[in-house]
Amino acid sequence: MTKREIKNNKKRKNNTKSSKKNINKNKITGLILLVLIALVLVYATYEIIKLVAVPTNTFIIENGSISSEESITGYVIREEKTVKGANYKNGMVQIKTEGEKVAKGENIFRYYGANEEDLKQKIAEINENIQKAIAGQAEFLTSDISAIDNQIANKIEGISQENDVQKIREHKKDIDTYITKKSKIAGELSQAGSYINGLIQEKNKYDEELKKNSEYVIAPMSGVVSYRIDNLEEVLTPNNFEMLDKKFLEDLGLKTGQIVSSNSEMGKVINNYECYIATIMESNEAKEAQVDDKVTLRLATQDNVTATIEYKAEKDNYVLLIFKINNCVEKLIDYRKISIDVIWWEYEGLKVPKSAIIYDNGLSYIVRNRGGYLNKILVKICKEGENYCIISNYDSKELKELGFTTTEINNMRQVTIYDEIVLNPDLENVK
């Protein structure tokens, strides 16, 4: 082998070794890159999992309110007196309409008398004959009669524009009075006076007979008139709270929100200044409530009324509470069993989610975010609800009682409305 061939063989061996070294170096570099990529993926996955498990969303503090409420059903108890006459089978004529106020001793309604329709027909015919007789004596009409005609015309126009049944009845009654008055004047002045006076006397006789045959029912007390009767007026009364319990109320078989049916044979007068609502409750708030405590009731009408706990009876596994209200009484006349919300308490102030609160050594803190800078701020929790709480700042006196120095107090940050705070905060990197 020549020197040249030997030299070329050495060169080939060196190139082979160099190629193997390069291949090994590339493998190592590739492996390192794979490890780095794997580490990056693992870290990214960890961060994503941490973000999902403990989200770092923020919340803007605003003024709001929290409350403790529960929805229940209640039974309406009123001071009410039913009234019924002997002639209830004859049919009723309402003098006072549903919901109208009445004084003690006033007529509420009356029952039809015997032969009432016949008497009304005769009176109507006499009125027509009187009008015809007066019309035939036009030359005797005076300014008084003209004035009465104007009053009658005004009443007729009033009837056409009126929707209140009671007001319409009053207008018709006034018209009858004016016609009678006009008839008497015409009877005194006209040539046919004796004929007209005879008609008037006959009409008065029928009026007296009609009045005599009618049975009028008066109010036994002042209050509001209602014709909605459910026969529980003497059962659910303010005088027998002791007999009420869960079984008694449920056995009444009432439907929530059902309107009490109107009655055509009797009526009642209701005390419109106050009523009571009996409830069966099992909550801790109900068990801790005391007589004379005040709460707020939200009615189905969305009216909020202040109520006082009038009566409380603790049973085996529930509490019977009876609330007394003095507002919106008339809105409950149509019902006996209703849905209500009991608002035990309501608190207003800076409202934040409970997930934003962190605790350290028995004290409460929030983490405020201002331009990416996170600060841990001491706050006072004024009231806690289920998901939110109301917070405020401690005053200097309170902070001293908690053991903070004057320097610490002067350097302490304060929470304010519209601060951005962190939900589920992580205390790492928080000052």
336 with 413, same domain? no
Q: Which tokens sit at 325?
A: 């209200």
Cα–chain center distance at 332 = 12
Are residue 272 and residue 377 in the same domain, yes or no? no
* 267 and 302 together in one domain: yes
DSSP, res 225:
E
Angstrom distance (rounded) from CA 426 to CA 56: 8
pLDDT at 187 over 60: no
Is pLDDT of 24 > 90?
no
Q: Is the pLDDT of residue 322 over 50?
A: yes
Based on the fold, state whether residues 286 and 342 are members of the same structural domain: yes
Instruction: CATH number of the domain at 343, please.
Output: 2.40.30.170
Same domain, 339 and 359: no
Whether residue 44 is contained in a domain is answered as: yes
Residue 332 located in a structural domain: yes
Cβ atoms of residues 234 and 275 within 8 Å: no
The verdict on residue 417 lying in a domain is yes
98 within a domain of the structure (yes/no)? no
Residue 214 in this model has a pLDDT that exceeds 60:
yes
Answer with the one of 318, 347, 376 that is the final residue of a domain: 347
Residue 238's Cβ-count burial label (10 Å; 0-12, 13-18, 19+) is: middle
Q: Are residues 285 and 340 in the same domain?
A: yes
pLDDT value, residue 324: 98
Higher pLDDT, 160 or 380: 380
In-domain check, residue 269: yes
pTM for this entry: 0.66
Answer yes or no: is 218 within a domain.
no
Quick check: 80 pLDDT over 60?
yes
Same domain, 270 and 317: yes
CB-based burial, 162-184: b 16+ in 10 Å, e otherwise: eeeeeeebebeebbeebbeebbe
Higher pLDDT, 58 or 119: 58
Return the residue matching tokens 């209200």: 325
Task: Enumerate helices (H) and strands (E) in the chain, giving the number of each.
Answer: 9, 19
Cβ–Cβ < 8 Å for 86, 92: no
pLDDT-based confidence at residue 241 (cuts at 50, 70, 90): very high
333/407 same-domain check: no
Worst-scoring range by mean pLDDT, 42-51, 336-345, 370-379?
Answer: 42-51
The residues pairing with 225 across neighbouring beta strands, listed in sequence order, are 269
Domains of the chain: total: 4
Of the pLDDT bands very low, low, confident and very high (cuts 50, 70, 90), residue 55 is: very low
State whether 343 and 357 are in the same domain. Answer: no
State residue 24 phi and psi, 5-degree precision: -65, -40
Domain-located, residue 253: yes
| Assigned domain for 209 exists | yes
Q: Are residues 310 and 230 in the same domain?
A: yes
Phi first, then psi: give them for residue 379, nearest 5 degrees: -135, 155
Residues 183, 120 share a domain? yes
**With bands split at pLDDT 50, 70 and 90, how would you rate the model's confidence at 162?**
low
Q: Which residue has the tokens 């040539």?
A: 191
Q: Which residues pair with 421 in a beta bridge?
A: 59, 368
Domain residues for the domain of 288 are: 71-81+224-347
**∠ CA(308), CA(382), CA(318), 5° rounding?**
40
Query: Crossing angle, helix 116-135 and helix 193-213, to 10 degrees?
Result: 160
